[in-house]
Structure 1
Amino acid sequence: MLQPDNTNIPPDADAIDRLVAGHRPGHGLVRDFYHDPAIYQRDMERLFRRHWHCIAHESVIPNLNDFEVFRIDTEQVIVTRLSDGTVHAMLNVCRHRGAEVCTKPKGNARAFVCPYHAWAYGNDGSLKAARLMPKEFRREDHGLKKLHVRVVEGLIFICFADEPLQFDEVERLLRATCGQYGWASAKVAHRRSYPVDANWKLAVENYVECYHCGPAHPEYSQTHALEKPLHLIEALNIAMEARTCALGIEVGSGNHWQTSREGAEAIHAFRYALYEGVQSGSEDGSPVAPLMGRFTDFDGGVTSIHLGGTTFLVCYPDHGMIYRFIPISPERCEMELIWLVDGKAEEGTDYDLAKLTWLWTVTTQEDKTIIEHTARGVKSHYFVPGPIAPMEQNELRYIEWYLDEISRP
């Protein structure tokens, strides 16, 4: 691992701490952060197991006793809807010898029976039966490991930490944003996963900045004003907000992007305009689905939400997007896109799936290509990160946030 030349680093710091302390402010991360297995493991321990993650929209488990299994790194999470309608999440790890107790990716079940020794668990994770165990064995002490769950505006959030970060501010801001777009009554229209041969941080850093939008995303840049610096689109944003207010809607925004030192989850919600005459995120800017939530017309705007380091949300008046970043290994990750529409909308009648998904499918395929180009480039032992451009302000903030997160146990 390369060691920075920094005499201010404490002599007892480990190799990763030395890299963090030696980071050059205003610049990108050095190559080790994208390749070193030890740094990847620290990412998992200090970031992914500390923060909240949006794992799905609850419409993926619409019926009582529905379940689906989700994967993050080496963890498998079973998300279930119990017979009382509540949503639960637990690790797919038998408390006996560690086998996977749920062997199907999704379905409907009141119980899960481990295929190894037939220990049986209720779909709330409680151990119901453990064959041939001694009398003193206590079933109540051996249920599946449960995770913290919050459901807000239809979004299912999970947290692996024993004591999760405070979530109230996140909930308030989601109600002021996604709530106005009717996400609680939305449904999943389509899901697609993109495997990416790159460290998860390269994928996230690419998402949070639009400095690359002009060169890399000509389709997106034809309709979304975010491809220009904010000071150049101020008039467009003011006109957008006026249209939103004229509809009688106040869509919230707010910057609560803090590190976990404060004991609360990070969230940042902001709004920006589409170009004049553009109504939605589509190939030609025209609507692709029925209006959602409180919207009775198109305001020519977009609401974007960054949450907890791995979850990103995009709200249009007629559809929504959930963007999930999922680590797999030090040099592999996955991007999952989830398209939302009004819960009453019917495919083929109210929306055409190909038109609904066109823009973000094209954009994400382009992102996958450019991220993998970058991943191959930063493998060079001679790579030296350059300065962050003014239009990459969110990337700069993300890097500083990330370094603070992994510098603390």
Structure 2
Amino acid sequence: MLNKLPSSISALLDARTNGHSLPAGLYTREDVFEADLDVFFHKHWICVGLDCDVAEPGDATVVDIGRTSLILLRDDEGQLRVFHNVCRHRGSRLLDAGTTIVSKLVCPYHTWTYELTGELGFAPHMGKDFDKSCHNLKSVNFKSIEGLIYVCLSDDPPQDIDLLERTMTERLAPYDIRNARIAHQTDVIEDGNWKLTLENNRECYHCSANHPELCVSFVDLDFGFDPESLGEEDRLQAEEHFRLYEKRTRAWEADGYPSAAVEQLSECATNFRTQRLIISGAGESQTYDATAASSKLMGQMTRKDLGDTHLWGHNSWNHFMGDHAVVAIVIPLAAGKTLVRTKWLVHKDAMEGVDYNLDKLTDVWIATTDQDADLVARSHAGVLDPAYRPGPYSRFSETNLDKFATWYIDRMRAHGY
């Protein structure tokens, strides 16, 4: 049975038509879900958290990816560490889900005790000849890219994360994400496959009809439109918008703020895109009136008119603005269940009720995430229906979905499916 599994998935991959959504089984089948976890969440770089999740020595947080449990922590010297949440004795979990503060990592089963560097310091009743140094915690390959923590659970992580690292190190430096503070966090479980969650995020075809709060500040035309479907007035407005984009991008870059689109979406392992986007309306932030939610700007930022530096990967999307940032991390739970964990960041010294109003800070993306959860659930229910057939992507508004689906097929093939 196991020997037949890859060929069965391979048949689904073969069935995909370019320019169309994926065959139903690639969204719904349990064997595909297990393959996705192995390929995309174990053998590729994924975003799992932030430096400021563990801001102080002794801070620790647990992140679960399928059957794999990780501990993010900061050791006594202030160094970031990522370990497997597995005792080297008989495999017990060391820490429960959530955040905590620890001075050492003590296994609750037999009290094997580890330093925050991962070294085994105490293992009772194991005899004088027991070599503790052979039983340190297993560390995980990770990178902190200007405060965004990426891990790869493979011993052979993709090297092409270098472009992401070079690009975002420069772009994120002024926001000082490493030293930001998490003002709020939500966990929303969507009733849909993780790929539907990502597809929904990679297009704004649906935005004007479903995201009234977001569309105050977010320009849906930025991700494509059919010029022939627009009336004369709307077409002229769109043309003017893109002339303004070119002008703003040149001005931002002349002032030392990299802004042009950089993307690595095909023929690669590490999938990402970034660009500095214009914020509509008042032009300051993704809030209900497009003005800044926090009077204390992020990091070393001194301007509110620098738009939205967006970044997406295959399990995350992010928006970095002058006054705050929104970081969303996607974690598959089952073929039809996906966790979307959203964090709102502010300057480390910003005080709620003094420098910012929490409702204004969070309302837009709380509403947007809830709306998206409903859309993803509808999509998943549809692909489960026997009447579902892969439909054509819009060549104007959904080109990034076609690229994602093509990348998905290519990466599955690269790993033997």
Give TM-score scaled by structure 2 length: 0.89
Relative to 1, partners in 2 of residues 1:305 and 1:103: Cα closer, same or farther, differing over 3 Å?
A: closer
Relative to 1, partners in 2 of residues 1:73 and 1:12: Cα closer, same or farther, differing over 3 Å?
A: closer
Q: 8 Å contact 1:206–1:367 — kept in the other structure?
A: yes
- Please name the residue that 1:43 is paired with: 36
The question of 1:218 aligning with 2:212 is answered yes
**Match 1:238 to one of 246, 271, 280:** 246
Kindly state the Cα deviation for residue 23 of structure 1 after the two structures are TM-superposed. 0.9
Q: 8 Å contact 2:263–2:273 — kept in the other structure?
A: yes
Relative to 1, partners in 2 of residues 1:130 and 1:280: Cα closer, same or farther, differing over 3 Å?
A: same
- Please name the residue that 2:265 is paired with: 257
**Match 2:109 to one of 107, 116, 128:** 116
- Please name the residue that 1:327 is paired with: 332
The question of 1:303 aligning with 2:312 is answered no
Q: 8 Å contact 1:180–1:249 — kept in the other structure?
A: no
The question of 1:154 aligning with 2:155 is answered no
**Match 2:348 to one of 333, 343, 363:** 343
- Please name the residue that 1:3 is paired with: none
| Superposition pairs of residues 97-136 of structure 1, within 5 angstroms | 97-103=90-96, 105-136=98-129
**Match 1:393 to one of 392, 395, 399:** 399
Deviation digits for residues 204-248 of structure 1 (CA, Å, limit 9, x no counterpart): 111111111111112212321134554733123124325535755
Question: Distance between the aligned counterparts of 1:114 and 1:226, measured in 2?
Answer: 50
Relative to 1, partners in 2 of residues 1:223 and 1:75: Cα closer, same or farther, differing over 3 Å?
A: same
Question: Distance between the aligned counterparts of 1:275 and 1:128, measured in 2?
Answer: 56
Kindly state the Cα deviation for residue 145 of structure 1 after the two structures are TM-superposed. 1.9
Relative to 1, partners in 2 of residues 1:241 and 1:159: Cα closer, same or farther, differing over 3 Å?
A: same
Question: Distance between the aligned counterparts of 2:272 and 2:198, measured in 1?
Answer: 15
The question of 1:403 aligning with 2:396 is answered no
Kindly state the Cα deviation for residue 331 of structure 1 after the two structures are TM-superposed. 1.3
Q: 8 Å contact 2:188–2:339 — kept in the other structure?
A: yes
Kindly state the Cα deviation for residue 86 of structure 1 after the two structures are TM-superposed. 0.8
Relative to 1, partners in 2 of residues 1:229 and 1:87: Cα closer, same or farther, differing over 3 Å?
A: closer
Q: 8 Å contact 1:259–1:265 — kept in the other structure?
A: no
- Please name the residue that 2:132 is paired with: 139
Structure 1 window deviating more from structure 2 (93-102 vs 398-407): it is 93-102
Structure 1 window deviating more from structure 2 (272-281 vs 317-326): it is 272-281
Match of 1:55, SS state, is: strand
Q: 8 Å contact 1:247–1:295 — kept in the other structure?
A: no
Relative to 1, partners in 2 of residues 1:329 and 1:352: Cα closer, same or farther, differing over 3 Å?
A: same
- Please name the residue that 2:178 is paired with: 184
Question: Distance between the aligned counterparts of 1:130 and 1:187, measured in 2?
Answer: 37
Q: 8 Å contact 1:120–1:127 — kept in the other structure?
A: yes
Question: Distance between the aligned counterparts of 2:92 and 2:221, measured in 1?
Answer: 48
- Please name the residue that 1:209 is paired with: 203
Kindly state the Cα deviation for residue 64 of structure 1 after the two structures are TM-superposed. 1.0
**1:161 is aligned with what amino acid?**
S
Q: 8 Å contact 1:280–1:300 — kept in the other structure?
A: no
Kindly state the Cα deviation for residue 68 of structure 1 after the two structures are TM-superposed. 0.9
Q: 8 Å contact 2:171–2:257 — kept in the other structure?
A: no
Relative to 1, partners in 2 of residues 1:249 and 1:294: Cα closer, same or farther, differing over 3 Å?
A: farther
Match of 1:194, SS state, is: strand
Kindly state the Cα deviation for residue 96 of structure 1 after the two structures are TM-superposed. 2.3
Deviation digits for residues 231-285 of structure 1 (CA, Å, limit 9, x no counterpart): 733123124325535755334641233445xxx6333212322224332100011
Match of 1:178, SS state, is: helix
**2:212 is aligned with what amino acid?**
P
Question: Distance between the aligned counterparts of 2:7 and 2:258, measured in 1?
Answer: 49
Kindly state the Cα deviation for residue 57 of structure 1 after the two structures are TM-superposed. 1.7
- Please name the residue that 1:379 is paired with: 384
The question of 1:272 aligning with 2:303 is answered no
Relative to 1, partners in 2 of residues 1:62 and 1:406: Cα closer, same or farther, differing over 3 Å?
A: same
Kindly state the Cα deviation for residue 90 of structure 1 after the two structures are TM-superposed. 0.9
Match of 1:285, SS state, is: coil
Question: Distance between the aligned counterparts of 2:202 and 2:290, measured in 1?
Answer: 22
Structure 2: which 5+ runs fail to align? 226-237
Structure 1: which 5+ runs fail to align? 1-10
Q: 8 Å contact 2:266–2:403 — kept in the other structure?
A: no
Q: 8 Å contact 2:5–2:31 — kept in the other structure?
A: no
RMSD of aligned alpha carbons: 2.2
Q: 8 Å contact 1:276–1:300 — kept in the other structure?
A: no
Relative to 1, partners in 2 of residues 1:13 and 1:148: Cα closer, same or farther, differing over 3 Å?
A: closer
**1:333 is aligned with what amino acid?**
T
**1:330 is aligned with what amino acid?**
A
Deviation digits for residues 306-355 of structure 1 (CA, Å, limit 9, x no counterpart): 22x11221111211111100111111110011111122211111111110
Relative to 1, partners in 2 of residues 1:276 and 1:239: Cα closer, same or farther, differing over 3 Å?
A: farther
- Please name the residue that 2:169 is paired with: 175
Match of 2:114, SS state, is: strand
Deviation digits for residues 23-59 of structure 1 (CA, Å, limit 9, x no counterpart): 1110001111111111011101111101122222211
Question: Distance between the aligned counterparts of 1:90 and 1:300, measured in 2?
Answer: 37
